[in-house]
Amino acid sequence: MTNMLSEKCPVARRLMSNPSPQKIYAALFSEDGCWYRCKVLQQTEDKLEVSYMDYGNTEVISRSALVELSEGLQTASLAKKYRFWGFHVSSDQDSAHFLQGKTFLQNLIFGKKLRIQKKSVCFDGTILVQAFQGNLDIGEEVLKMKFAKLSLPENSPQPSRVLQDPSALWPHRVLERGDLEMSPSLGSMPKLRPAFTDQKPQAHKEKATTTPLQPANLLKKKMDQELMEENERLKAERGTQQQGALLLERELRDTRAELQRANLAVLKETKEVEKLKAGNGVLQQKMDILQNQLKETRLALELAQQEKQKNAGEVEKLLETAAGDKLGKLAEKVDLVRNVRKHSSSSTVGDSLLQAITIVMNNRLSIPVAMEKLEVAWKEYSHAQEMVKACQMRKELVDLIDHRNKVRCALVTAVDDYIQEVDGLPISERMDMLEHVAVSLTAVFGPFLADDAGERAFHQFSEWKSRKQQESQSVRERTDTALQSLCSWFSDAGKFFCLSSKTSVCLSDVFVGLDALLKRAELDLFKELEVSQTEQKDQDVQIVSGAFNKVIQEIQREQSLLCNIREKYLQNLQFKEELHQWQNNSPNADKLFLIKKSIRSLRSRLRWRLVEEGSLEEAEEQDLTEIVKKKEEIAETRNALFHEISQEKDEYKKLSVLAKGGFPELPLLYPEADILSYMTSEGLLVKSLDREVFDTEPMRELSGRRPLLCTEFQGQRVILKGYAIDEETEARMLEGATAYHRARMFTEEQAGLLPLVALFLGKSDPLAYVMVPYFTGGSLKVVQKSSPLTASETVGVMRGMALGLRTLHSSGITHGSLHPGNVFVLNREQGMVGDFDFTKTAEQRAVDSAMVAGSLSLVAPEVRQGQPPSQSSDMYCVGCLLLWLHFPDARYTLKTDGLIPDTSELKLVSVVLLFYAAHKLPSGDNESLLKNLINDFCFYFIAL
């Protein structure tokens, strides 16, 4: 699978859409640069969190580092995820309690053989296991130390019992108290007595019938008297009736008040009855509950009695084996302590750190004694070289060279002393040892924190380590003493129980003290186990961390010193080797002059043979055999000339290296060699070349404003691009071509930018020629005219174009002339930015008539408004070219501002996404630069 991934992933299709959590992809792991299968866990903007499914680790990567896999690699993962069963830890992983628990668990299982028992499998495939280290349950030990909580499934609660309806406890009411009290009160109400106002009393009637007649006057008086009496009587009777009515009304009010009080009393007693009913229902429920509890208690009591009777025999058996069980448990603890001591006898964490401190502090290498002398000699030599470079008079140059040579002799002596001293130092072994110590400590203590540990970190750690050793030694001595006492008791007991031999051990010595000895041994064993498994306190962790940080700082400081020593060693060794060949004599340009002489001879011979060829071809009777022979001689001479020119270039390169290094006087000593011209143009300018030495073919179909010639140079098919120049444009062309050539030559990734083979000036015409490689694919304009690019091919071409612009922009060069005729397509897979007209300024190139793509102008809006071209205007051309590639037949009209083309009817979303995908393909340090290019591009392209 590793071989398949390494073959398929670099050419696999990058992820264009949103990743699927169920699908398997491949990602480039940042630490080793290899491809591994993974699944996407989470996506945030352009970053993806992935899990390497075959190894179990996770990483956050960019989208560009993720590729899709074929169905043959969509198989199950090789790694399985396990988790402890029975407990869970807190989610706060930054707390001190969590870190202590993690360290405790690591001490239990790290580097030890475990036995696991599979319990269940989760829905996500995680296997839950119960782990044992020997007879020690890992989960139980973690729970004992309260670093986790129990997570076993609990019993479901019993359903609640249905209570009896309290209304059933009460009978239906027949007659209430209020009803009994209402009857007599209603029956005793006073009745109204009728008033007889229209009748007389019976006594008056009888008296009136028996009264004799009286005289008239007497009768009148008597009648008047009777009337008066009758009136008085009627008045008295009326008063009596009024008093009776008042009494009747008073009795009626009293009766009504009594009736109201009776109703209130009935209502109150009704409420009390309802309360009594509710209380009776609660009491009935409590009574039922108590009865049920009583039944359950009786049943439990019966079961307990049965269990007691059943276990009576078992208790007797257990009592018989109690001593054996107790000794067995004690033996288990002894075995645990023995294992702990066995493992602790090897190198512990503190011991490894103490050993690392000893290695780092006691065996460190110091600065070589000759190093200071060497630095002084180098300063004097550099000053002498600067004086030679600054000299302009040949008379003074000789003295300066002599002084420089004396200083160089002293430097060589210092270099020899330094190299001899460094050769005696075990630098490689020491660096390997420091690297091994650093890796070992980092694996144990985690990543290094660049904090100042302080000067007393080692002293504090030493005191802490000594204190811990004393504490551990004290606990071990107590344990050994307790076990030794127990062994002595067993020895005495053995003598006592041996009937065949006489012994001085009595019964009291054997019987008394055994329980105390067992208890003491058990407590001491438990104490030693507890001390061995006790987590470090915060102060202890701080002391150990401080010592770790301090030793890593010392390692890094010494590694830096050793790297500096080694680097100086290699530099001075190379310097010594370079000077060894010039020990007796200084470098000169004699070989270069011989090559130039040979070149002049070959050029003269070539011109003469060309003349002879012309004479043969113009003769009245042509000798074809002689003409062919002459052509072969011309070709042979031309190849010999090109070979000598190549030798001349190599010699120039060697002399330039020497002039830049230890012999800066060479250009001044040999001005006729013109070494400075080669150094200034970075080897691009070749003065030995001329238009006449080439066998050229004119490219009439591509020649427009300047002639294009096709020829061969040193076995490579090239194109000569001629430019008419004067003194001003010649200097500008040399400067621009050199900057372009330097930008490409000193860039690690040279793809995307057309290389310059050579630059030479015509000797018989006022033209300068730029030599570039010939590509059969042609320009983007030719390709789109004959066979337009597909969408996938457009991505590759645009990517190459972006890489070429990035190379120029990183050197501060604005192209200014990016159009379909100046972008080349290689095998319909890669785009390449062509060179521009070096005789023109960027402002002149940006407004050239060739800056069009179909009907779309490639001139940026700000350039039209008079601003100088910039890197953003180059990106505007990229956006317009991308637009033209997707809509080649569209007719563009300008908006009302007359600067920006109207693209409202075009669907531009897919174009922007495609361009963005093309620029996201590169990764690494170039990604930030590409983002800047994309921002510049979007600034103009969104305006469209």
C-alpha–C-alpha distance, residues 112 and 321, integer Å: 34
Beta-bridge partners for 762: none
**How much is the average pLDDT of 902-917?**
60
Tokens 């290899």, residue located: 34
Instruction: Say if 171 falls within a structural domain.
Output: no
Give the pair of three-digit tokens for residue 313.
């025999």
Kindly indicate the confidence band of residue 819, based on its pLDDT and cuts at 50, 70 and 90.
very high
Residues 869 and 786 in one domain: yes
347: pLDDT strictly greater than 50: no
Residue 842 in any domain: the answer is yes
In a shared domain, residues 782 and 855? yes
Of 579, 601, 633, the position where a domain reaches its end is 579
Residue 704 has what pLDDT? 63
Instruction: Work out the pLDDT band at 222, boundaries 50, 70, 90.
Output: low
Q: In the chain, what is the greatest distance between 2 CA atoms, to the nearest angstrom? A: 217
Task: Say yes or no: 117 and 15 in one domain.
Answer: no
39 and 114 share one domain: no
Within a domain: residue 250? yes
pLDDT > 90: percent of the chain: 12
Model confidence at 647, pLDDT cuts 50, 70, 90, reads very high
User: Count of domains in the chain?
Assistant: 5
Q: Is the pLDDT of residue 741 over 80?
A: yes
Final residue belonging to a domain, choices 579, 607, 622: 579
**Rounded CA gap, 910 and 593, in Å?**
61
pTM for this predicted structure = 0.50
Strand partners, 47: 44, 62
Rounded to the nearest 10 degrees, the angle between the axes of helix 727-745 and helix 791-810 is: 110
Residue where one domain finishes, among candidates 535, 550, 579: 579
DSSP 739-785: HHHHHHHT-S--TTB----EEEE-SSSSEEEEEEE--TT-BHHHHHH
In a domain, 174, yes or no: no
Categorize the per-residue pLDDT at 39 as very low, low, confident or very high, splitting at 50, 70 and 90: very high
Number of C-beta neighbours around residue 697 at 10 A: 11
Bridge partners, residue 61, by sequence: 48
pLDDT at site 755: 92
pLDDT tens digit sequence for 514-570: 777 778 877 877 777 776 655 455 556 666 666 777 777 777 888 888 888 888 888
| Residues 789, 797 contacting (CB under 8 angstroms) | yes
The pLDDT confidence band at residue 703, using thresholds 50, 70 and 90, is low
- Other Cβ atoms closer than 10 A to 122: 10
User: Given this model, what pLDDT does residue 453 score?
Assistant: 56
Three-state secondary structure readout of 278-296 = HHHHHHHHHHHHHHHHHHH
Amino acid 758: pLDDT: 93
Quick one: 296 and 356 in the same domain? no
Count of beta carbons in the 10 Å neighbourhood of residue 408: 21
- Residue 939 in this model has a pLDDT that exceeds 80: no
* Residue 942, domain CATH: 1.10.510.10
Cα–Cα distance, 281 to 169 (Å, whole number) = 7
49-98 pLDDT, tens digit each: 999 989 988 999 988 889 999 888 888 888 888 888 877 777 677 788 88
Q: Is the pLDDT of residue 839 over 80?
A: yes
680: in domain: no
Encoded tokens for 63: 């989208």
Residue 403 lies in a domain: no
796 and 932 both lie in a single domain: yes
* Under 8 Å between Cβ of 26 and 41: no
Task: Write down the residue that tokens 């294992």 correspond to.
Answer: 339
Residue, of 557 and 128, whose pLDDT is higher: 128
Domain of 13 in residue numbering reads as 2-73
Q: How many residues does the chain have?
A: 944
Higher-pLDDT residue of 113 and 163 is 113
Q: For residue 419, tell me if it sits in a domain.
A: no
Residue 164 has pLDDT above 60, yes or no: no
Residue 26 has pLDDT above 90, yes or no: yes
Q: Are residues 575 and 460 in the same domain?
A: yes
- 828 and 908 inside one domain: yes
pLDDT top residue among 127 and 513: 127
Residue 505 pLDDT: 64
Q: Answer whether residue 637 shows pLDDT above 90.
A: yes
**Residue 818, CA atoms < 13 Å, CB-side half-sphere:** 33
101 in the same domain as 59: no
Q: What is the pLDDT of residue 175?
A: 34
Q: How far apart are CA 115 and CA 126, in angstroms?
A: 18
Q: Are residues 14 and 145 in the same domain?
A: no
Higher per-residue pLDDT: 560 or 486: 560
CA–CA distance, 28 with 923 (Å, rounded to integer): 11
Per-residue pLDDT, 269:
86
- 367 close to 569: Cβ distance less than 8 angstroms: no
SS (HEC) of 846-908: HCCCCCEECCEECCCHHHHCCCCCCHHHHHHHHHHHHHHHHCCCCCCCECCCCCCECCCCCCC
Per residue in 854-909, pLDDT tens? 888 888 888 988 899 999 899 888 888 888 888 888 888 777 776 777 777 776 65
Query: Do both 911 and 786 map to the same domain?
Result: yes
Report yes or no on 682 lying in a domain: no
Distance CA 557, CA 559 (A): 5
Burial class (CB in 10 A: 0-12, 13-18, 19+), 434: buried
The predicted pLDDT at position 488 comes to: 77
Question: Which residues, listed in sequence order, are joined to residue 50 by a DSSP beta bridge?
Answer: 40, 59
Do 924 and 825 share a structural domain?
yes
Report pLDDT digits (tens) over 223-282.
677 778 778 877 887 788 788 788 888 888 888 888 888 888 888 888 888 888 888 888
